[in-house]
Amino acid sequence: MAESPNPVHHLFYPLPPRLSMLLTTIFTQGGPDDLHLLELLPDDDAFLLQEKAEQLMTLDGERRAAVVVREMRRQIQFAGLVGLESIDPTWLLAGIRGEQPHTIGIILAQLSANARSRILQQLPSSVRARIPPRDELKNVRTEIMRIVRQKFESQFVTMPAPPGEPTNFYFKDIALLDARELVQLIRALGIEQLAAAFLTIGKRKLAELCHVLGRQASEELISAVKETDDRDAMRIDEANDFLSRILLGLDLAAAQSATGPANEEFQRELFQKAGLFRLAMVLRAERPAFVQQLAQRIPRSHGRLMRNYVYRMTENEPIDERKHRRLQDLVLYRVEKLAARGKVSPRYLRFAFCYWGDEEDDGHEDAVAPPAGGEEDAFESAIDPPAEPAYDDEPH
């Protein structure tokens, strides 16, 4: 059981440093009467700061001053680039395209060794050969380094910084997962979304796909269908539209005759696209900055696909608030289970997972947990079921 977190200790979480400093400056150089200035900020920033300002106002004056001063000291001691280490290198690579080699060298000199190495490997050899090594950049003026860095950073949304100690874990905190962990989550969500579709479409179509997927992936999918709650099944029109989108660009005919790596590639892309679609379903009501944060965590092609799914869904139909919250709970539940299995960092098990819950249920366990299984199932005949069904979340 996670310990109850100290709300004051994490009051400024998950504000990026620039917003933390702005809020602390308002309270030290001005006061509550100056909070109207927040209206001049972009909507996303204003929303976050107004929420934190209201929490600060609930504290008595002396305690509020102590919290503000402590945060200012922490930010002054903060070193390094704001969140660039958390952005997938494919986004960073796109950000430096077209820049002069000397400028690229200044940018790379301020990145982690891993990100720098991955970017250099993907640059054309003619460009790579002209980039100055870090030792040659020691004499570049600090002001120049800062300007280049700020210009480069302006292309991205600031990434959230993980809290120093365990605290509450809400749906929005999935943005804290690293790229490897998100790959695990997206694959698991893809299997769940396919299950929600085939629960409606039926066992004949499920069997057709299972013969293409191969035994292990088929067992995972059939297990997920059995565990899917009836209330999570897609409408028939939604299911057909979803499968049409997901299979678009995938060569189903070739996969039917393929074996080995070719078949595994089809499985990987299918589960991946389905997972990005399900993730988009739960992001459609979120602020664009949060959507972009998640997109920047994963390879750029995948992030852009997820973002396009979100925008198309937002344009098409209104949101059922209750279903939307349940979907978020299901995603959060999957993160918690992946953490328990070591597929996501076990450190998150020390956090307090916070669910919306269902109005008709007493608690979130009943609201989001899959059924125990073991009953006669209509999909039993699709293929032989596994003896002990479980997700295979290892990336391919």
Whether 17 and 5 have beta carbons less than 8 Å apart is answered as: no
* Residue predicted with more confidence, 23 or 276: 276
| Identity of the amino acid at 203 | K
Q: Residue 386: pLDDT above 90?
A: no
Span 124-170, pLDDT tens digits: 888 999 999 877 887 888 778 878 888 888 899 888 878 878 889 99
Q: Residue 382: pLDDT above 80?
A: no
Cβ atoms within 10 Å, residue 192 = 24
Task: Give one word for 169, left, alpha or beta, with left for phi > 0 and alpha for psi -120 to 50.
Answer: beta
Span 328-375, pLDDT tens digits: 999 999 999 999 999 999 999 999 999 998 444 544 444 555 444 433
Distance CA 57, CA 122 (A): 50
Mean pLDDT of 240-266: 73
Distance CA 20, CA 13 (A): 9
Distance CA 13, CA 263 (A): 44
Two structure tokens written together for 10:
């994490």
Q: Which of 111-125, 185-199, 204-218, 364-378 has the highest mean pLDDT?
A: 185-199
Distance CA 186, CA 278 (A): 8
Q: Which of 74-88, 111-125, 141-155, 163-177 has the highest mean pLDDT?
A: 163-177
Whether 19 and 4 have beta carbons less than 8 Å apart is answered as: no
The whole-number pLDDT of residue 148 equals 87
* Residue predicted with more confidence, 100 or 146: 100
* Residue predicted with more confidence, 15 or 36: 36
Helix axes 17-29, 61-77, angle to 10 degrees: 140
The whole-number pLDDT of residue 378 equals 38
Q: Residue 3: pLDDT above 50?
A: no
The whole-number pLDDT of residue 140 equals 82
pLDDT range class, residue 112, cuts 50, 70, 90 = confident
* Residue predicted with more confidence, 352 or 389: 352
Give which of 90, 86, 10, 14 is closest to 49, Cα–Cα: 14
Alpha helix ranges (H) inside the chain: 17-29, 43-57, 61-77, 89-96, 101-108, 113-122, 125-128, 142-153, 179-201, 203-213, 215-227, 236-247, 252-257, 261-283, 288-297, 300-316, 321-340, 364-368
Q: Which of 170-179, 366-375, 380-389 has the highest mean pLDDT?
A: 170-179
Distance CA 343, CA 188 (A): 11
Task: Give one word for 193, left, alpha or beta, with left for phi > 0 and alpha for psi -120 to 50.
Answer: alpha
* Residue predicted with more confidence, 375 or 75: 75
- The model carries a pTM of 0.71
Distance CA 108, CA 105 (A): 5
The whole-number pLDDT of residue 20 equals 80
pLDDT range class, residue 9, cuts 50, 70, 90 = low
pLDDT range class, residue 91, cuts 50, 70, 90 = very high
Mean pLDDT of 204-221: 88
The whole-number pLDDT of residue 374 equals 37
